[in-house]
Structure 1
């Protein structure tokens, strides 16, 4: 299952970084062509079923598609159109998010009108719910940059960039029923110097003990560094964000690259992120380790440790848990 999952990640990243699905005759035997689209996201449920969501665009049209595999990636279902979302964010981390809970597959999607929506697939009856809006202030999530993670039972938490305070700041919301209803939006962090980095995707991971970990790119005194904040009460309170790594990313602008994070069974957090055009891996309060050159790193927590992949000049670089 682990190796099959790795090859699926390779195929997804090839689509993600290139923007479109690869042609079948250019694929290795372990790869699959799904459909023409961009920004795919993947989740594997407790039964080993692979769930994938992605977007397509033709002119001003934006469509959301879903497909799955119940045989470890050997074959996939025909893509299912979940809906059309005007001005759906696609590209540079903007795109649908997906996670799986005990009973549901949950998808979120944001648009440049400023709203973030959720829908869920029931494992019991294989039916999708209608989209529901997550942000409780209208048109405040215009960057369409968000992250999503599942916890125990049917708990789901999402984070996003939100402008209701005048600049982009970090907000979150909790669902206890697999994305059907959402609690009051929570201000996770308000940037001390006119908000946080405006175009970098935030990410969230829920550890097995229920701790919430959120990573985002801050902007402080000309530096665009990654920061981590955590909550032990499912978002009721977050601790003071701490900078990840020891170096500084000095840039007058947004790198449009938010990194990723994961938490293992013991609760240990691992982050991956880009600084300049270099990729780093780091644990909180520890020095970062350079992995190589590139952008858009992602991390997948496995039973053997974190697997990391990133794009480097049109090719996918991979670091296995055993490296």
Structure 2
């Protein structure tokens, strides 16, 4: 491996994603925590954006979970200015809500980044690596979260772009050393109270030893294969949903002959469109029973105080 391979690998990955998208507004954002992954991403993007005439925006989220969080955010912002970012913003968020601190922090972070997108067609690049993808897949498997979770994170899911999903974490760390960048070491990444930390430090190394290496790459390949299958099912579900719609209702005869996996995707799209939030697999299976296991039963209550029910061959949502 030559000295320049880590930086070159990160740049290739960013270039490949930017080659796929069209940003008419000329604005591109990078979310930076100050860690090695996002700093390596920011450095590579800065070089490529300059050549493409893109205006770069740095977005640093301050979760305010540690006493020195403002200093950490300021340090990350300073490094972005040094890389040539035209605009750098520190976004302060309040981390609270259900699901534990990891889920609450993630929800607050994505909400702040979405609100800070600099133009309607702008992308926000995120520094998730292949190792992050492997951890996401393992968490989904362990929690029985279903194929959407096991399929992991999408590389391109506007406004989000994740160009480093095929890049190991070791490469981003080496790229920072090569570039003379000084990444922040988040103490939460060493705290075994967090499930993802234990996966990273205990479970994945154990699997690598038992299976003689290559586990993170294999999990990332599995996620990619599942995403392809899920996208094919989503296309089928869209076609069925178009046939089954009758105003705000769904015609049951158009759904009853479809496989359960397609029906539940149809229901998910329809219910989300009707304003039902935070749907779980249990909610969808209960709603699907109104089609596949119909015995004249009553409606199914959903989050937000809404109810899906069946009458005269139609499904409706009321609240």
Shorter-chain TM-score range = under 0.3
Question: Hey, which of these two has a bigger chunk of helix by percent?
Answer: 2
Higher strand share: 1
TM-score between both structures, scaled by the size of structure 1: 0.25
